[in-house]
Amino acid sequence: MRVKSVLRLAQGVTLASVLLVGGSACDSSARTVTAGAATASATTTHRPTSTPTTIPMSLGCNSSVHPASSVIDSGPARRYVALTFDDGPSPDYTATMLTTLERTHTPATFFVVGANVKRYPALVRREAGDGFTLGIHTWDHPYMTKLSPQQRQWELAATAQAIHNVLGANYCVRFWRPPFGDYNDAVVTQARSLGLSTVTWDVDPRDWSSPGVKTIVDRVLSAVHPGAIILLHDGYNSRSQTAQALPLIIKGLKRRGYIPVTLQALLGSQSA
Q: Where are the alpha helices (DSSP H) in the chain?
A: 94-103, 114-119, 121-129, 149-167, 185-193, 213-223, 240-255, 263-267
Q: How far apart are CA 38 and CA 28, in angstroms?
A: 16
| Amino acid letter, 253 | L
Instruction: For residue 169, count other CB atoms closer than 10 A to its CB.
Output: 12
Instruction: Using alpha carbons, select from 105, 106, 127 the residue that is nearest to residue 116.
Output: 127
Q: Known catalytic residues?
A: 86, 233
Q: Where are the alpha helices (DSSP H) in 2-148?
A: 94-103, 114-119, 121-129
Q: What's the number of CA atoms in the CB half-sphere (13 Å) around residue 32?
A: 5
Length of the chain: 272
Q: Are 36 and 180 in contact (CB under 8 A)?
A: yes
Q: How far apart are CA 175 and CA 170, in angstroms?
A: 15
Q: Are 232 and 211 in contact (CB under 8 A)?
A: no
Q: Does residue 2 sit in helix, strand or coil? A: strand
